[in-house]
Structure 1
Amino acid sequence: MARAVRSLGQGALVVDLTLYLHSLNWSGVKIGLALSGAGLFGALLSLVVGVASDRLRRRPFLLVYEIIILICSIIALLTAQPLILMAVIIVSGFGRGANGAAGPFSPAEQAWLAEEVAPEKRGRIYSLNSALGFFGMGIGALIAILPSLLPAATGTTQHFANIPPSSYRPIFAVVGFATLINLYLLFMADEKYRGNHRRTNSHPDETESRIRRDENKMLFKLLFLNSFNGVAVGLTGPLISYWFALRYHVGPSEIAPVMAVTFIITGISALMTGTLTERIGIVQSVVRARLLGLVLLIILPLMPLYWLASAVYLLRSAVNRGTIGARQALTIGLVRDERRGLATSTNAVSMQLPQSVGPTVAGYLLSVNQFTLPFYIAAFFQGIYVLAYAKVFKDYNLPRSEMNNSQV
């Protein structure tokens, strides 16, 4: 439930944040730097949170995250001073579209979820959790139409280039309100986990060392593969609304409905992927979907009209991001219960560090009217990721229940 509520504000900001910054006369490079800084900050903090939440408890970290988001949303609502706004974006991760995840604190959230779900059900439940995030993002994207409606109410043109910055500010109030709801939900939630107290004599020393070596080896492979995926996502994801605006001269009133439908369809795809993992396995479900997504990524920048580009973007999001839950389930299955936080934080960091480079590069390319190059660079890295993922994790192509039993 908390993920769905949190995703409302995230969905709105995915559409409107870059357009808001554009209305403040920020350059493409400056916008990219802000989003890159947010990715870098989040990656470093994520690693700390993952390890610490294994040793302590999960809920306090999520409460801290919500308080940070609340403070940042209030500041962004009250001021557009460039340095302050830049700092707010970097600390909060606004505009990066985390699908309802708790930013750098998501390792604690994912580990908490795993503790509440039987191992054989994690593939389906993680996909359901991902789907709820996408559904919330869809509703949030509809809220992003608001800046286009406010100028219309005053009799001014709705073209995105003429929307004043003040019309975007109420979006931050939506973020703050959703955060207050989440704070209440988290305060009311009961956490059974009490921290990882080291167990004695549960494994002989030699056995424990071997298990850890095997786990670390798989985590390193995951880290290596995710670096390719992270670069691809960073080049095309955070600035997609900005790309639509520059390439097709559209604004919130055109972009928001497309994003809303895209997120909802992606949520449905996530549910279908959860079911598919039980039939053909986690790895094959991911690889087949990502290969189709790769083809659509190559086609997307070639579309001459906005509605065609929107249709391709929708399909690509559905098949590509619909696998998030399945990939999270695979990550959880690579290690034992007491190292869940480490596994999820490693997964997040290995994505976010390379991903943080993408917005700056893409922002520069867009500023010099290179509207296709970011997608082709991303396709190159995405292709490496998909092929390597299939090879590295071929032995893990099991239904969720079998995969967990094989690790006991």
Structure 2
Amino acid sequence: MSTESLPSPARRVDEAWPAAVKLVMGARFGRSVGQGALVVGFSLYLHALNWSAAAIGAVLSAGLLLGVALTLLIGPASDRLGRKQFLLAYEGVLILSALLALASSATWVLTLGAVLGGFGRGANGAAGPFGPLEQAWLAQDLAPAQRSRVFSLNSTLGFFGMALGALLAGLPALWGGLLPGALAYRPLFVLPLMGSAIGLALIWRAPDVKRARTKPPLSASATATAMPDADTEFQAVEGGGHSATLDTPAAHGEKAQGRGHSATHAEENRMLWRLGLANSLNGLGIGLVAPLMAYWFLRRFDHGPATIGPALAASFVLAAVGAQLAQRFVPRYGVVRTVVGMRGAGLLLMVLTPFMPVFVLAAGFWAVRAAFNQGTLGVRQALTMGLTRQHRQGLAATVNNVSIQVPRAIGPAIAGLMLHQGWLTAPFIVAAGFQLAYLVAYQRFFGDMEKPGT
């Protein structure tokens, strides 16, 4: 076989990763520490400021909805314009939001921080509405065989950072004598401030090379015949003022390639529609419980940040362990079977959590659930990046993000109303129904895509 017909050598799984990958993952870790602190502390802070459960849920929902709108506007454009400038701008917004929250507890400041800065949402270190850009940036220079490992490690770093932040969120209990009441929570905003400053510096150094959109290559025979000879393969027809081409094998080859390109495009669109439908069920299941879990522990067991922080930190650590387990399961069972199996176990643990009679048991069930549930995040992202060709990966990541975040944004508002009425078990039961439907859809839509070991 001619060497000219061979594609460029595929990178091995163990080959060194591009510099941008390491820097983007470092920025995620820094960002995740602040997110972990506020996923514990923010809702408790608002409660200490006498915000109602309905108001807390509403402000979290508003932030998620704005994030969706920004994702829709910016995500697809990132394939053409690059990702770096958007992520730098996002880090700047987070820094400004944290500075304002350190200075004031005014309603408009905290609402702005929740809406623009993502306070309290706990996105595992992802860049909020710009998360799809981050995913596409990671994927663009990686061979497909490397993606699962990279995305799993990226998720693991985010979980460990969230765990560290959640532990630090217990500090208000130590300085409560010096900073009484709600004021004790305010120093926590130093953590997202520092994390975003570190992220800004790392992203500034990361190279973001825009890739030219590539067309499907012609077959060898079509390429050979498409080169015009002096004997006029392409002849102008005189007299009518028009030009035409002869019906040559080259023309047939080009048409066949065009039809193949259209078929691939249509198949990618079909898979993205399926992804969006499945994710919408998952998003509803997530939004009804996870964003208000710290507040739920407060209402159900009357515990504060000193115990809620370590409890949620344990869940993030176990989620990091789960991410590495999922990465080990994938070569043997494939992505889909790994996701369905682990998420099924996590679903059972979530249903049992609200029925536990004491805080330790409820926190333990919730933490172990995280290993099975959130641990699949990286491998699911890797599957998403494999649904399209490289020049459409920004679109794929956007569909993945938006289809989860729109229904997830509705969840906290609904759950806040339930908790306001004292219905502490209802959010878990409703969420379980949606997550079960998600697992059925995921298996049905993607179960035939791969075989174990691929």
Given the two structures, how large is their TM-score scaled by the length of structure 1?
0.93
C-alpha contact 2:97 2:112 (8 A) present in aligned 1: no
Partner of 2:210: 194
C-alpha contact 1:49 1:107 (8 A) present in aligned 2: no
| In structure 2, distance between residues paired with 1:109 and 1:355 | 20
Instruction: Give the deviation of 1:195 after TM superposition.
Output: 4.5
Residue 131 (1) aligns with residue 147 (2): no
Partner of 1:272: 325
C-alpha contact 1:223 1:347 (8 A) present in aligned 2: yes
Instruction: Give the deviation of 1:116 after TM superposition.
Output: 3.1
C-alpha contact 2:216 2:261 (8 A) present in aligned 1: no
Residue 167 (1) aligns with residue 220 (2): no
Structure 1 runs not aligned, ≥5 long: 155-162, 403-408
C-alpha contact 1:53 1:195 (8 A) present in aligned 2: no
Which of the residues 236, 261, 277 maps onto 2:314? 261
Which of the residues 341, 357, 360 maps onto 2:410? 357
Partner of 1:228: 281
Residue 281 (1) aligns with residue 306 (2): no
- RMSD between superposed Cα atoms in Å: 1.5
1:118 corresponds to which letter in structure 2? A
| In structure 2, distance between residues paired with 1:242 and 1:382 | 21
Instruction: Give the deviation of 1:292 after TM superposition.
Output: 0.7
Instruction: Give the deviation of 1:264 after TM superposition.
Output: 1.1
Instruction: Give the deviation of 1:197 after TM superposition.
Output: 4.3
C-alpha contact 1:282 1:396 (8 A) present in aligned 2: no
Partner of 1:185: 202
1:341 corresponds to which letter in structure 2? G
C-alpha contact 1:269 1:322 (8 A) present in aligned 2: yes
Instruction: Give the deviation of 1:302 after TM superposition.
Output: 0.3
Residue 47 (1) aligns with residue 72 (2): yes
Provide Cα deviations, 1:100-122, integer angstroms capped at 9, x if missing partner.
Answer: 11111011111111123221121
| In structure 1, distance between residues paired with 2:116 and 2:186 | 18
1:397 corresponds to which letter in structure 2? E
Per the alignment, in what secondary structure is the counterpart of residue 64 of structure 2? helix
1:146 corresponds to which letter in structure 2? L
C-alpha contact 1:32 1:360 (8 A) present in aligned 2: yes
Which of the residues 245, 267, 272 maps onto 1:219? 272
The residue correspondences of 1:151-162 to structure 2 (distance < 5 A) are 151-152=176-177
| In structure 1, distance between residues paired with 2:384 and 2:110 | 34
Q: Percent identity?
A: 44
Partner of 2:34: 9
| In structure 1, distance between residues paired with 2:141 and 2:169 | 34
| In structure 1, distance between residues paired with 2:54 and 2:127 | 26
Which of the residues 336, 346, 371 maps onto 2:399? 346
Provide Cα deviations, 1:36-63, integer angstroms capped at 9, x if missing partner.
Answer: 0111111111122220110111111110
Q: 1:197 to 1:397 in 2, by over 3 A?
A: closer
Instruction: Give the deviation of 1:399 after TM superposition.
Output: 5.3
Q: Which runs of 4+ in 1 moved over 4 A?
A: 195-203
Which of the residues 333, 347, 366 maps onto 1:313? 366
Structure 2 runs not aligned, ≥5 long: 1-25, 219-253
Partner of 2:193: 176
Residue 104 (1) aligns with residue 129 (2): yes
Per the alignment, in what secondary structure is the counterpart of residue 19 of structure 1? helix
C-alpha contact 1:47 1:342 (8 A) present in aligned 2: no
Q: 1:305 to 1:323 in 2, by over 3 A?
A: same
Provide Cα deviations, 1:330-382, integer angstroms capped at 9, x if missing partner.
Answer: 10010001111100110000000001111011111111110000000000111
Q: 1:184 to 1:35 in 2, by over 3 A?
A: same
1:381 corresponds to which letter in structure 2? F
| In structure 1, distance between residues paired with 2:448 and 2:421 | 45
2:204 corresponds to which letter in structure 1? F
| In structure 2, distance between residues paired with 1:52 and 1:9 | 28
| In structure 1, distance between residues paired with 2:190 and 2:347 | 36
Provide Cα deviations, 1:230-286, integer angstroms capped at 9, x if missing partner.
Answer: 001000010000000000000000101111121112101101111111111000000
Given the two structures, how large is their TM-score scaled by the length of structure 2?
0.84
| In structure 2, distance between residues paired with 1:127 and 1:148 | 34
Q: How many residues align?
A: 392
| Greater Cα offset, 241-250 or 66-75 | 66-75
Instruction: Give the deviation of 1:207 after TM superposition.
Output: 2.1
Partner of 2:379: 326
Instruction: Give the deviation of 1:134 after TM superposition.
Output: 0.3
| In structure 2, distance between residues paired with 1:324 and 1:47 | 21
| In structure 2, distance between residues paired with 1:111 and 1:39 | 20
1:210 corresponds to which letter in structure 2? A
| In structure 2, distance between residues paired with 1:147 and 1:393 | 46
| In structure 2, distance between residues paired with 1:363 and 1:325 | 29
Write 1 or 2 for the structure with the bigger share of helix.
1
Partner of 2:17: none
Instruction: Give the deviation of 1:152 after TM superposition.
Output: 4.2
Instruction: Give the deviation of 1:211 after TM superposition.
Output: 1.1
Per the alignment, in what secondary structure is the counterpart of residue 190 of structure 1? coil
C-alpha contact 1:142 1:256 (8 A) present in aligned 2: yes
